[in-house]
Structure 1
Amino acid sequence: MPPRKRKRAERDDEPLMEVCPVCDEPQVPRAFPAHVRMCRINQRNADQMRVDAQMAGKKNGRRAETKMPKLRLNKSHKARARRAVQEPASLDIDMGYQPQEPLPDLQLPPADPDSDPSIPLVRLPSHYVLTIPHRHSGLPATILPLNNPPPLQTPRTFATGMNPAKPYRPFRTYADYDFTSNCVRWAKGDKQIKEELDRLRTGIWVDGKSKITFRTVKDVKDALRVARHVVPGIVQFERTTITVDFTHDAETKRFSGAFNVQLDFRDAWKVVRSWVCDETLAPHSTWFSVEKFYCRGGTCVEHKEVLIDEPWTGRTWREVDDSLPGWTGQTWKEGLQGPQNQYPSCYLPLHIWLDKGMVSTKVKMHPILLRGLWIHSAIRNASGNGGSALLGYITMPPELRNTDWKTLSGPEKEDFARLKSTIYNSINSKILDSLKARSHYGETFRFGDGIYRTAYPGILIESMDFQELACWLAIRSAIANFPCPKCLVPKHRLAELTQPFKHRSPAAMANVVRRARKKGTKKEREVLLRNSGLHDIEQILWGFANSDPYKASSYDTLHWTDGGKFGRHLWEHVKEVLINMGETNEFNKCMQNLPRWRGMDHISAATLIDFAEGNTFLDILKEIDKDFNFLKQHYTCHAPGDIREKGTTNHMSTRPGEGFQQEVNRHYDRTNGRDAEHQMVLIDENEEAMARLDMIVADSKAQEKQAAEDSEDGAAVVADAVSSDVHWCLAAPNARMSSARFEAQMTRASVSQDFDGFDIALREFLANRYPEFQISFEQILEVQSFRAVHLEFQSRVDWSPQRDILRCSPSFFGHPRYDCVLFNAEEDPLSLARLVALLRCKVPDGRSFDLAFVRRFKNSKWRPRTDWKGCRVVEEASKSAFLPLEHIARGAFLARAWGTTRTNLFFPLDTVDDDMFLRLNNIE
């Protein structure tokens, strides 16, 4: 047995330790008085900070919607506790930086400062976003500081194919893959492909043997067929026949019988799984709902404002997460109620889009698109991997497509309408059938991030115009007695926007249909159905869980606002008023004189537009300042609820889906018109397979290049990030020259009045702003001008990084363009200026400074004849001045004032985008 350790004997020369009465830490006698004195000073400072924080909390308490408990650090290094304090369990909080000590659990009560004044306060960022994930996720709360540089992006996941060494597989050679990708990308027909292969085979294009192994068009098609089967992530279309028996439901003999519909469709659940299991999409996916709050920091966490942006911040997703079974692996499982799963329960909300469009003068196509709302909007609303998936086309039997509505009698028209609705419902039911059982019971599988979860799919958002929505919900048209898809508002009360009306629900509407079917006569049945605005059809989502079809119907800014209230009502009235006043030409002249702006069409003759898409009406609406008793106006009262439940309106809009109609037109043009839908889905499969393979090949090249660079210069070792205040990048450079030569060159140009005395003015500006350089008149200043600048700024809408590309060019597409900017000044935080020149000035010691030569605007006393609320008129100065680029916040859009002969008066327009609206109206 080991020998017993002897107790160490105390030495006579060892100093005695004294315990501090303030912090209870042992100290040597020599430093003890100074230590106690500093501890008392620190304690007084902490007490004063605590009092200030409590006073600030009382003042801000009236304004705060919700208050979080104070976050305080617990001292873990005490030598002897003065009194027992129970420390709460720690909850990790990712603040974008590493705090010195862990933060306490947000869900547990903090330590009381009155009971233990030795607990110091946590210093939080001055402005930040607090994100609290749902409890099923098991993830910590996170804090995103808004006054710090954004966190570094994590390295993206590269896509891998079936053979990492040969990413172009299943093609034999890289040349075969490249040739096929080019044919699919440029939509080459069989005739053109055959001509190119013949040139390769006969030696017209190459001498000797070609690397392309294809000999005929059939070889290319066979390779594409194999690619559709084996390329990862591709969901193929299935072909089936749907039979609709309308024998017993028909009132007339003409439409009595069975109708067969050939349907090419993608299994919706296979599409969902392909997205969820994709490792490249996992970093851009949010599997659980979150609560987001904009907070002001310091010593007290306040839920100052609830933030809603993506669908996972909405109320509906959170309610579904609450209703799903809990996870037995959670550390707080004793607090869960109801059934529990072995794996985390995850709601997979879906966005469905339907709309018909003309692909020729006589043919309409009716595509169905699906999107995954857990994928970030920047990816799911774009084309490519993670974007919308085509589920199929709604098609009608030939005997119905060839029926002329005008030749039908009254009863035949009713049969025809009900038969089309029944077929419409049957097709959608078949396409979404694989989601029905899984919405109730879920399915457990491995997600793209490597974690097993039980997934419960559901339809959260339906984006359709009203005609499509009426067919989807099986409700009556806009002229019905109860036309609203969300509530039972009578038609004559549509203008009462503030009055509450009973909302539709699946259970209530299904009960109405059941009661109607029990009525003895058709008249009694129709009366009951009309009183709820329904048809005698069961809506397909009634049998789904977590899918309320009436809540899912959403406010569409394209059809309800831009192309609806404005395009079909307001704009027509505006044109009529302009014609009656004889001001049409003057209005078009004002529209033509508007400056150009990135991302917005320049419309010259707006009053000549008789029909346009909703995006065109939106551009007109941005460029002008703007007895409703119809459905689209009534639907405005549902918009706030839709935002609270499902996120902001950009996620519900049909606008992203409208771009797919162009693809539909392109696909139809490549068919021969016979069984066009079948040919079009094969074209879509080919494009998706090759796009996926293109991504795999591109990622393989990027990995090889990155590995080569890392091995060459040791770039695999990541250095600590450094902060930088530079938020701009100059572009389109001109020649570098001396400031005196630049003045002479610009003086000879048409803008000579701005550059008179430029050299002296630049030297005076640099001498006043940077006196340490002591620039003499004899020294040469080097100047380089630029024609564009890229400005990075943080959006006030969602604090996301945004970019403006501003032009400062004498000839931009044949026209001079000098954009305006919004900059920060001491006298006015909303100062405006016009760019005259963008400069990089190099002083003799080698340092460079980026400057803007601008003409500032000042507020004018002139007012227009129609002085609207918030009208601001600014006057452009005649002299130019220098402005450091670090003071520029973002670009601005100014329109020349009408109703005056003065050419230096302008209206700042706040309707260009949401961030501009908040800034110009000084809304925090």
Structure 2
Amino acid sequence: MPPKGKGPKGTLKPSVLDPLCTFCGLPFKSKGITQHQKSCKSHPEAVASDARSRAFEEQVQQEGLLDPFIPVIGPSSAYTPLGYTHTQLQAGNVENSKYYLIAHICLCYPAYDANIAIFNENETINNTDNNNTEPHGEVHTDEGSSSPFEQAPQLNDIKVEYHSRSRRQPQFFSFDEYKSNFQDLDSVDIPVDPEPWKPFRSRLDFELAELILDTHMNKNQTNELISLIHRCILDPKSFTLKNEPDLSKIWENAANRATKFEKTTITVEYNDEDKPFDVWTRPLWSWAEELLLDPHLSREFHWDAEHHYRFNGETYERFIDEPWTADAWWEIQASLPPGAVPFFFMVYADKNRLSSFGTAKGYPAIAVCAHLPTSIRNGEKRGKRVCVGWFPVVRRFLINYNCMQLTHRAMQLQEDSGETGKKKYVNFKRVVWHKAFYEILKSVEQYAETGYHLTTADIERWMFPIVLIASADYEEQCVIALIRGVNSKFPCPVCLIPGDQLANLSSDFPLRFSSDMEKIYKSTIGLNASETEETLKNVGLRDVENVFWKFPRTDIHQAISWDRLHAYHGGLFSDHIWEEVKSVAEELGKGVSKLIDTQVDALPTWSGLNHFTSIIKTGEFADGSKYEDMSKVLIFALHNIFTKEASPRGYQLLKLLRSYVELDMYASLKVHTETTIQKGREELLVFEKALHEYMPFNPAKLWSFPKAHTHKHMFDDIQQKGVTRNYNTKPNEKCHGAFKNSYKFRTNFKNVAPQILKFDHANLVATVIRDDIDYLDLSQAEASAEDSQIQVTRNIIGTAHVSLGSQCAPVAFSDLEDEHSADSAFKDFRKKIGRFFTRYLGRSVRFGPSDQINPFQLLRVNYESKDDWCVATDLLRANPKFHGKPRYDCIIVKIDEEKYIFARLLYIFGLQVLDKEYHMALILPMDLPPDLENRGRDNDLRFNRVKARHRSLSVFISVESIIRGGLLATSVWKSGLVTGKRP
């Protein structure tokens, strides 16, 4: 029998009169509390469960749904770590065992750290309920403690230090408090607008207009339109729209709810003639004031620089995520007058094709407020990134491309095609760009010098507008920094590295600073043309004045940030490493390409990971995420083909690819610590070494190009401006899709700029109105819930940690065993599960052949991600025919406090035992010691190799024992795929 009094699920349940644990605050019986407190004190991480999961669990219990089942592993035989103590392991039992390879990137940071008990067949069962844990600490308050801890800090406690100019004391939080944003400002009482759809005459009018705004309707939009029409029939008075002109007039009235675009004409001299260009801008400071005065956003702003630390058991280790947690914010705030704070912008600009053939192009400029969290900046609601400008696209014929048509003026501006690429013409285009960008920045120019006083959230702030981050691909960075580009003496916009040293990642070179570049530029005043050219060429600058020099606290060279999308996925990998892979494959002969495609197709599928059926003959991808996913899986399809014996060049290329994937993993992290930044810098040197060792294999390939160098600045940018998602161009490039749709569906293909921007502005207005309506609905729903005290029932099967889905029809034990009679993993399924529950419950449990179980084919496993410390969910399947193919995912199971194992899901089911539902899984552990045959390759390519048991040695576990999923690739260690049935 299980021991009593160990927790809420024990035979003796604690009551509110029982003593409370000093560390977790839970009630325990007097006989059990001493032992519990020792465990709770020794393993605080085991009781620091995620706040969201805990709240969900409490709700599940309150609603009378399935109680959380104590995590158990037991046989189909009981779990014993094979290869160590199991006496049945003979050669005949392991001859069909399979090997699996795991690269570090596939597993980085497995997470959910619950206190899970794993049981051996011959051990006493320790009946602890891991779900009833609370965050430690009576030493913390809901607002965080502003004084040092009254006792020693606990593992994962958080410390936040604020900039000295803020006059705020350091604060301390438990990990759960920090994740729950307890340190944020108090909630603001935001007044509810009872008619947020104004100036639309009714809510229904707006909702139909909102739908019409997007004419590229899918099935859901079509159904929504039909639903709205039916509502009109039921309540005809609420629908007042008459026709399209009536709707357009209302949109014009609604336009005042957001800062509108303005048209300006700039002139730039070329060949002794002034050339006019139209620029459309949304005044930057007017848009900023809208954000600052929006009561829905006021509590989301972060004003002061912060240093965040997490206690690792020995010391507080600093971590960085948002821009205000990094160094640049801290340093700039220190440089401002006492009492002043910065107001930081992030900017992005890039021209893109509007038409399929690229004959029509648009050149939007995007702005983002750096003071808002990532979830808002990259979201779709108020506070998101917005278009603040539309630049002219200067073409070879100098067409005024805002109008997207050849006008008489454009024909007059036609030049000799021989001008294309000439220095004078290139400089002319740069002048157009910087004059156009000045029109965007003009509204903040004065305040960049003097600051601007504004009362927001009842606090008067003295703000200095500054561009903190410039997000752009390399080509656009050259335009922003006004450097000469890839073929210049110094092609980096951030540092002065010589062009022939771009593959040198271990040496440091002087950084560029705006003040230095401006001095050099101004030193050429009065020099003749050749002297000016020589002076500027020696630092890679163009003979053009940079608009950002007008803003003294903006250093554009330091604002320019490393772009993961174009530097890695659409650059270093797609254009260089991948091309080398195809070259090696071609060297090895015709059959190799087919073999690579076969092995890529055989790799397991995974939610959120692109699956490739073939890659060698595939053309270019427009989507950088395809290259990102390809780089992750490619090494698993190549390691037995690009061997040291078959292709020394290919083998060295795999080592280079391995290091690239590691670097991309570090680049992808949403939270960086001092440790991960240091590890990333070390990996950069590993990459450099692998690259230089690869170079002799293909001397014709030159690696001195900017994207082989720019990741040298990646970890400096993380240290200065936060993690890479703060300045990755990927979120900005999503905006191009809306512009393309507007061009295709909303314009007459003439003079398209004002037409596109009209609908962009309407979308922004619709976002504001929709948010206000949603807030109204939420307020009314909360009021209604308070009045009626209605509780919403969540229909889940399982617990907050693991829930089950894709339920199948009940099946009898006899039918299940017949169906799987050829699979030794299911042999004596009924008897083994009966013996398991007999041991677990301490009483005889037998199932008859006609007794039924409830099969499932999906697990949703929630866990705390070690990347961003938020709750993440893995969708894990055990499905014989998922999209036409069998899919049996791998999982990570916790054995004890120190050990985890990998296993493969074979079957998921629920069954009734003594009037209680238990949710179980049949798994195949991968805990055999792997052979040493490929040890050298595994070390070189940094594989973790695991080996599965024979299928007859499968085991049962509670699904609660699953930590999360794990993506494993079957090892192919001969020329072709390993034979044998997949589960």
Question: TM-score category by the smaller chain?
Answer: 0.7 to 0.9
Measured in 2, the distance between the counterparts of 1:405 and 1:768 equals 89
Q: Does 1:587 align with 2:587?
A: no
Deviation at 1:620, TM superposition (A): 0.7
Contact 1:159-1:695 within 8 A present in 2 as well: no
1:130-141 mapped onto 2 (5 Å cutoff) = 130-141=159-170
Consecutive unaligned residues in structure 2, runs of 5 or more: 1-41, 43-134, 400-409, 636-656, 658-694, 696-702, 793-797
Alignment of 1:803-814 (within 5 A): 803-814=873-884
Distance 1:346 1:164, change over 3 A: same
Q: Match for 1:236 among 241, 255, 260?
A: 260
**Alpha-carbon distance, 1:778 to partner:** 6.9
Cα distance 1:102–1:745, how it changes in 2: closer, same or farther (>3 A)? closer
Does the aligned pair in 2 maintain the 1:825–1:831 contact within 8 Å? yes
Question: Deviation per CA, 1:524-579, whole angstroms, max 9, x where unpaired?
Answer: 11011100100111211112143211111111111111211111111001001011
2:259 is paired with a residue whose SS is coil
1:258 matches 2:236: no
| Shift in alpha-carbon separation, 1:265–1:755, aligned structure 2, 3 A | same
1:590 is paired with a residue whose SS is helix
Look up the equivalent residue of 1:711 and give its one-letter code.
Answer: D
Call closer, same or farther: CA 1:159–1:124 in 2, change over 3 Å.
closer
Within-5 A mapping of 1:466-545: 466-519=474-527, 521-545=528-552
CA pair 842-794 structure 1, distance change in 2 beyond 3 A: same
In 2, Cα distance between equivalents of 1:146 and 1:817? 37
Alpha-carbon distance between aligned partners in 2 of 1:779 and 1:856, rounded to the nearest angstrom: 27
Equivalence for 1:756: 827
Asked if the contact 1:896/1:905 (under 8 Å) is kept, the reply is no
**How many angstroms apart in 1 are the aligned matches of 2:704 and 2:821?**
55
Aligned residues: 748
Letter in 1 for 2:494: K
State the partner residue of 1:273: 289
Per the TM alignment, residue 412 of structure 1 is displaced from its structure 2 partner at its CA by 8.9
**Structure 2 counterpart of 1:288, from 304, 322, 326:** 304
Query: C-alpha distance in 1, partners of 2:189/2:810?
Result: 44
**Structure 1: how far apart are the matches of 2:918 and 2:828?**
20
Partner of 1:129: 158
Quick one: structure 1 residues 807 and 442, their matched pair in 2 at CA, closer, same or farther if it must change by over 3 Å?
A: farther
Q: Is the CA contact (8 Å cut-off) linking 2:263 and 2:281 kept in structure 1?
A: yes
1:827–1:138 distance in 2 versus 1, CA, 3 Å: closer
The question of whether the paired residues in 2 share the 8 Å contact of 1:897 and 1:905 is answered with: no
Whether the 8 Å CA contact 1:443–1:455 is kept in 2: the answer is yes
Is 2:99 the counterpart of 1:99? no
1:841 aligns with 2:911: yes
Aligned to 1:603: 612
- State the AA in 2 paired with 1:316: A
* Pair 904,891 (structure 1): closer, same or farther in 2 beyond 3 Å: farther
Residues 413-433 of structure 1 show CA distances to partners (whole Å, capped at 9, x for unaligned) of: 333222211111101011012
- What does the per-residue CA deviation read over 1:7-51, in whole Å, with 9 as the maximum and x for residues that have no partner? xxxxxxxxxxxxxxxxxxxxxxxxxxxxxxxxxxxxxxxxxxxxx
Q: Among 831, 836, 846, which residue is 1:765 paired with?
A: 836
Of 198, 201, 207, which residue of structure 2 is paired with 1:178?
207
Shift of 1:657: 1.6
Q: Paired residue for 1:623?
A: 633
| 1:572-721 pair list within 5 angstroms | 572-582=579-589, 583-613=592-622, 614-625=624-635, 626=657, 627=695, 628-669=703-744, 670-713=746-789
> Is the Cα–Cα contact under 8 Å of residues 285 and 443 in structure 2 kept in the other structure?
yes
- The match for 1:33 is none
SS in 2 for 1:516: coil
Contact 1:441 1:456 (C-alpha < 8 Å) held by counterparts: yes
Q: How does 1:155-554 map to 2 (within 5 A)?
A: 164-187=193-216, 211-229=238-256, 231=257, 234-244=258-268, 246=269, 250=270, 255-297=271-313, 302-303=315-316, 305-326=317-338, 341=339, 345-360=340-355, 361=357, 362-396=359-393, 400-401=398-399, 407-409=416-418, 413-447=422-456, 449-519=457-527, 521-554=528-561
In the TM superposition, residue 164 of structure 1 has moved relative to its aligned partner by 2.4
- Amino acid across the alignment from 2:347: I
Deviation at 1:179, TM superposition (A): 1.6
C-alpha spacing 1:129/1:408, structure 2 compared with 1 (3 Å): same
Distance 2:233 2:911 in 1: 53
Provide the secondary structure at the position in 2 that maps to 1:690: helix
Give the root-mean-square deviation of aligned CA atoms: 3.7
Contact 2:146 2:172 (8 Å CA) reproduced? no
Native 8 Å contact 2:865 2:872 kept in 1:
yes
Report how far residue 406 of structure 1 moved.
9.6
Q: Structure 1: which 5+ residue stretches go unaligned?
A: 1-51, 53-94, 111-119, 327-340, 717-723, 907-924
Question: Against the structure 1 CA distance between its residues 573 and 405, is the aligned structure 2 distance closer, same or farther, given a 3 Å change threshold?
Answer: farther
SS at match of 2:737: helix
- Give distance in 2, aligned partners of 1:679 and 1:378: 30
The answer on whether the counterparts of 2:158 and 2:178 sit within 8 Å (CA) in structure 1 is no
Distance in 1, Cα, partners of 2:354 & 2:141: 63
Q: Could you give the per-residue CA deviations for residues 706-728 of structure 1, whole angstroms, max 9, x where no partner exists?
A: 21111112889xxxxxxx99522
Q: Is the 8 A contact 2:597 2:616 kept in 1?
A: yes
Query: What SS is found at the alignment partner of 1:400?
Result: coil
Structure 1 contact 381–656 (Cα < 8 Å) conserved:
yes
> Secondary structure at 1:641's aligned position in 2?
helix
Deviates more, 1:589-598 or 1:138-147: 138-147
Describe the SS at the equivalent of 2:956. Answer: strand
Alignment of structure 1 residues 64-143 onto 2, 5 Å: 98-99=138-139, 122-143=151-172
Equivalence for 1:556? 563
Distance 1:640 1:795 in 2: 22
Q: 1:642 to 1:159 in 2, by over 3 A?
A: same
Q: CA deviation at 1:389?
A: 0.6
Q: Distance in 2 between matches of 1:606 and 1:100?
A: 54
Mapped to 1, the partners of 2:789 and 2:232 lie a distance apart of: 41
* 1:806–1:891 contact (8 Å) kept in structure 2: yes
Displacement of 1:623 after TM fit?
0.8
Question: Relative contact order: is structure 1 or structure 2 higher (C-alpha 8 Å, sep ≥ 6)?
Answer: 2
Give the distance between the partners of 1:102 and 1:833, measured in 2 at CA: 40
1-structure distance, mates of 2:208, 2:860: 37
CA contact (8 A) 1:781 1:841 kept: no
Structure 2 Cα separation of the partners of residues 355 and 147 of structure 1: 41
Determine if contact 1:405/1:413 at 8 Å carries over to the other structure.
Answer: no
Contact 1:315 1:644 in 2 (8 A): yes
2-side partners of 1:358 and 1:102: how far apart? 51
Question: TM-score w.r.t. structure 2 length?
Answer: 0.70
Q: Report the AA paired with residue 471 of structure 1.
A: V
Aligned AA for 1:424?
A: W
Q: One-letter code of the match for 1:890?
A: R
Instruction: Read off the aligned partner of 2:772 and give its amino acid letter.
Output: I
Letter in 2 for 1:685: H
- Cα distance, 1:174 vs structure 2: 2.5
Q: Which amino acid aligns with 2:558?
A: K
Letter in 2 for 1:241: T
Provide the C-alpha distance between the structure 1 equivalents of 2:248 and 2:144, rounded to a whole number of angstroms. 62
Say if 1:355 and 1:464, in contact at 8 Å, map to a contact too.
Answer: yes
Residue of structure 1 equivalent to 2:102: none
